[in-house]
Structure 1
């Protein structure tokens, strides 16, 4: 069409045409299934998922048009705002406004992808609502487009049958909320991840970090959904301590043995923090010592090799065992026939 011909009106016309073709396609698809269901089972139409492929292209093309339309609308609003703020711009007179360039430009936030895991739902929900749902410049059609492109796997299958229309965004979002706003399953998911943590395989910083992050992550996730572990803190701390290596458990028992009261989680967290710092410091010291020993070993090996080479270079003459080749040996030359 050419950039000059791409206007808000032409884009809206293209969108209407695309929507009409998609509605026609859906109607014909339903008719094919009703009248030729048996034939379709053996046809490439079903084998190659023609419906899914076509819908994917439809969603992509509609997204392109919606993004372009949004850009054009924002450009028109910005131009109108500039004219209102500086009337001289409309008459072609020199502008008296001072353009202020922002000092920093924040990077564009990448939309999250939600695959249907219950433990990922709260973070996806909050981020999507903040970026998309609360954006007043977006229409519900655009919101539904962004929602569909952010879903994969089971979550995508849940809203796949919602066509991209203005009314369907609220319906699709309500379907997701109804399915994933399930505290019982969220608690089960978080607790399963915690109980699946393996014990520390050794007294190393990496192993302690793995366990420490698993413990604090579970605690935070349960608090976020309003299910703190206040009523089962003792059991949680016991299970967390059992994940530690033997020496860390001994040091923990040494700390808490001074009191007859069960320890609080803050005490465990402080202990894990300090223990992690200790292991990291010891790890770096061992590395430096190992490097020093390695250097000494290399020097020793090099010296041994030098001595070996020296020994091999001594006595090269097989006749007199002196440091010369046999051809230069006086004893050998005496034995040569005259």
Structure 2
């Protein structure tokens, strides 16, 4: 009995021990798991704190090249940034993008302007930049152009020679760094392409658009194919002439004339522009024309060859000039003389009528007068998105707008092909160097902006005004908010000529002030002053202001409404 009881107690103790052991074991694992979770949490917190601290560390300053989008600067910038930033594995993408954002300017800045600074965005931005600017063919063409278009030296002094050496050496080394497979092949290709018309070159580019750098052989094969096409599409009748001439664009520019001596006063103007001749009574004018053996219709020197189609403004007859109309009253003659109105000159080529404005006219008190032409200071957007100040003459008679070659070079805008035939007085021709599309705005406000296609020519005109303005005229105009505050600066160059296609968008047509010293029209650039004013020196030059009657144009402008401002060209 006693043995059975002892056995039962022993079994009970054994079961209780096992239960306690199991409980302790379960508790151990629970605690161990909790410890592991705590360790992970602490490690994660330390990592986050470390990252936060590292991100707040100020990035070291590195001397990096800036890049404004000019292709010629790309290779230097690319090598510099790649070696100092892009290839550094110790820098994060976020840090690299921060550096990149700080050195992109101008047009290149648009690649990062609206991009969040994040780790992942660096690779995207860098790839976009490289894809656009790392065009070895375009880079090589720019370098070749730099060498081939380097201006000839006027004097072989030390400075000029060193500049040439640096320019050539830099271009050659840069070409070598581009690592063309066949550099001589690329040079021949580039020279050949320059000889092609624009539309043929476009055909070539479309044909080889899959190749990074076409070979010279591909270029020659293309030319042979085009020659074959031209041969097959030629008309079989070589003597056949086109029924109609292809349309030509002609632009009539302001021009100087120094060989038009007046037979009455020996001044540098035509007889119908002579103030002394206009002061004669009508019968005296007729007798003077007879004695000079001049044509009664055009006042020219060859009556039997006169082809004038103009009629007298008083009686609408084509038998005589307006100045020789015998029924004109004395008051009409007085008004004609006072305002100095000019009649149209009759050329053999009757394509246009031209108004002549003298820079010098002789009055009864022998004072000298000069014509104030409408000029304005404007701003024009250049290739880098910045606005440059330019001085423009506003000519309602010019069929197109023009820009000087020097101005076009400063703007750096793409030069477009242009085959406009530009002619002036006596069919004098000016060669077009191309054309640019530009954005023009007032110098003091951001609006309105005008998009203008301007033809590039060597020079617009000489400095305006040609002679110094008297203090009386200067003081009168300086009181107004002028479109051109430097209207009296004889050293001020003319950068642009804004023609009739934008004239009506510039001038509001409201005449501000009119008196003996001229008149002003409101424009988007300020008050535009024109007319005649006393000068302090004489000039025997005359300028052709426009190819059409400015009186009629002014009438149409003054009857219109708008908010623009302009300076009207004088007809006095």
User: TM bucket by the smaller chain?
Assistant: 0.3 to 0.5
Structure with max Cα Rg: 2
Name whichever structure is richer in helix by fraction.
1
| TM-score normalised by L of structure 2 | 0.23
**Greater percentage in strand:** 2
| TM-score, structure 1 as length reference | 0.37
